[in-house]
Amino acid sequence: MTARGEGGFTLVELLIVMVVIGILATVAMPLYQLVPERSRATEADAALGAIRSALRVYYAEHGTYINASFVNGAQVTVGGVLSVTDSDLLGRYFSTECYTFDGAPTANTYTIRCDGSNSTAPYAAEADGITATIDEDGEITHQWN
């Protein structure tokens, strides 16, 4: 004869474990869904940092961010005013067409926008829906669609 209580887990214990695993999976999945987009956005962040550095040099030389070439929607490489070239901005996911002025710069402020939906880079389809912006303070913000 065997004593009661021997032999493993009960059905209730197994169901409780399955419910806990289900809850953990439900919470974790949304957190991990943006990981690929975040990793792709780092390419845009690096290019935005290079553009910011070029704009800081421009500001140091001219005392203002205002320039006839720096208008709302203009690509940052237009007119060759900044020391940033098309080849500097061409990446795997984002291309030169992505990086534009978001509004016209003022004497002390600017915003540069990188819109992945404008990309012609080799893997542009994977950047569609990713938008990043940087301002004169170096604050980068992202949007995911």
Q: Is residue 57 part of a domain?
A: yes
Does residue 108 lie within any of the structural domains?
Answer: yes
Structurally, the chain folds into a number of domains equal to 1
What's the CATH number where 134 sits? Answer: 3.30.700
94 in Cβ contact with 125 (< 8 Å):
no
Q: Report whether pLDDT(2) > 70.
A: no
Residue-wise pLDDT for 93-117, tens only, equals 999 999 999 999 999 999 999 999 9
Could you tell me the residue range of the domain that residue 116 belongs to? 37-144
Query: Quick check: is 52 in a domain?
Result: yes
Does residue 16 lie in a domain region? no
Q: Is the pLDDT of residue 12 over 90?
A: yes
90 within a domain of the structure (yes/no) = yes
At 33-86, the pLDDT tens digits run 778 888 899 999 999 999 999 999 999 999 999 999 999 999 999 888 998 999
Q: Is residue 75 part of a domain?
A: yes
What is d(CA 95, CA 138) in angstroms, rounded to the nearest whole number?
A: 20
